[in-house]
Amino acid sequence: MTPRPPKKLLGNAVPSLPARIATELRRAIVERRYKPGERLVESRLAAELGVSRIPVREAIRVLASEGLVEVADRRGASVARMSRQDVLETIELRALLEGQNARLAARRRDAQVQKRITAVLDKGARAVATGRFDQLAALNQQFHDELTLASANNVLAELLTRLRDRTEMLFAPTKPSRQSQAWDEHAAILRAIVAGDEHVAATLAAHHVTRAGEDFLAGELARAG
């Protein structure tokens, strides 16, 4: 059975206005332009984006379903906070699923998907080499989307897509040194997949997630201090 691509890769339809607003707000949250606990006031966001409050409200609902936003009756919407325990449990789950995804990708060894992943990696390597770190968030998303396709497992793809949307802020490195290292880790994962080494691919993918999660926790501790 031919695997279905994750939702973000389906078709060439132009995203709706609420979807475009959700994408912009999601990026702002991941990049920490909106901090955990910060209120997301519909009227203010609508004015900043030059739209009515209705598509903003719909976008906030989307982000709430992903766990990036919390909505309270009296306080309204705000960027979700994650406790240390929440982060640890999320890291454990995503490491497990990403490891299994890489294992299956090494087992399937789809040449066309591997070619597309390699193209994304090359773009990322050039971005790192030229200091264009602003390009890496989108390229990181493309890398993981293609890696999900490589596993050829529809159920796993759906779970990972939802988990990545929910936890993207945990795994978006901000330091140039860490961004460069992350792309080296991506390349190592791909080499293992191309070689068909399921164990190494799974181990490297799980370690990649664990390392990113540890970096996030260390950053949170430093900010708290």
Residue that is last in its domain, among 26, 59, 79: 79
Domain stops at, among 79, 103, 120:
79
Are 125 and 160 contained in the same domain? yes
* Together in a domain, 70 and 106: no
Q: How far apart are CA 42 and CA 49, in angstroms?
A: 10
CB atoms within 10 A of CB 173: 21
What's the whole-model pTM score? 0.73
d(C-alpha 1, C-alpha 75), whole Å: 47
Do residues 55 and 133 both lie within one domain?
Answer: no
The CATH number linked to 73 is 1.10.10.10
**DSSP E strand stretches across the chain:** 69-72, 76-79
Average pLDDT in the 65-75 region? 86
Whether residue 20 is found in the same domain as residue 104: no
Residues 101, 72 within the same domain: no
The pLDDT score that the predictor gives to residue 174 is: 61
- Where does the pLDDT of residue 70 fall: very low under 50, low under 70, confident under 90, or very high at 90 and above? very high
Range of the domain at 118: 84-224
Q: What is the 8-class DSSP label of residue 16?
A: P
Alpha carbons 132 and 138: distance in angstroms, whole number: 12
pLDDT-derived band at 8 (thresholds 50, 70, 90) equals very low
- Arithmetic mean of pLDDT, 162-191: 79
Same domain, 66 and 98: no
**For residue 25, is pLDDT > 60?**
yes
**Domain co-membership, 150 together with 163:** yes
Domain stops at, among 79, 105, 124: 79
Question: Pairing mode, if any, of strands 69-72 and 76-79?
Answer: antiparallel
Query: Rg for the chain (alpha carbons), in Å?
Result: 18
pLDDT at 3 over 60: no
How many domains would you assign to the chain?
2
pLDDT of 4 > 50? The answer is no
In this model, does residue 133 exceed pLDDT 50?
yes
DSSP tag of 175: S
Are 114 and 27 found together in one domain?
no
Average pLDDT over residues 70-89: 87
Q: 105 and 58, same structural domain?
A: no
Q: What are phi and psi of 49, to 5 degrees?
A: -90, -10
Q: Is the pLDDT of residue 32 over 90?
A: no
Task: State yes or no: pLDDT of 123 exceeds 80.
Answer: yes
Are residues 26 and 101 part of one domain? Answer: no
Tokens representing residue 35 in the block: 């901090």
**In a shared domain, residues 33 and 135:** no
Query: Do residues 13 and 44 both lie within one domain?
Result: yes
